[in-house]
Amino acid sequence: MKFEDNCIFCKIVQKQAASSVIYEDSSVMAFLDIRPANEGHTLVIPKDHYEGILDIPSELLGKVHKVAKNVANAVKLALNADGISVIQQNGRAANQEVFHLHVHVIPRYNGQKMKSTKELQTMDYAQLDVIANKIKVCI
């Protein structure tokens, strides 16, 4: 596998950092965002380190997005969301904060505005694990 020493997502893949995983296979992982825009906000990543969409092989990008679709269905069902935002940012100018390709799957509710990054608060893993378990049964 291709890892970057200072990448938090690479550390999560290697089990060197905590996470609330809802899906994992040999090449893709999905886990809850520790600073969620909404309860159930999930990140889908390739296990290998690629900075963005321009770096990742197309076949692997397709698998990441296939998993993102399955996760979106599970999140919507588990959390009774009215909709799902799927977001993937590339580069500092696009507000990418962690430079390991990731797809945000965010449950959305009617009448709700998207929170700004400054409004997001860190959740503890006990809370995240409860949410992750709700989603896992729907995958």
Distances (CA, A) of 29 to 51, 100, 111, 116, 118: 16, 12, 31, 25, 26
- What's at 104, amino acid-wise? H
> Does the annotation count 49 as an active-site position?
no
d(CA 103, CA 16): 21
For residue 63, the tally of other CB atoms under 10 A from its CB is 18
Q: Which of 41, 100, 102, 104 is catalytic?
A: 102
- Tokens 């809370």 belong to 127
Catalogue the active-site residues: 102
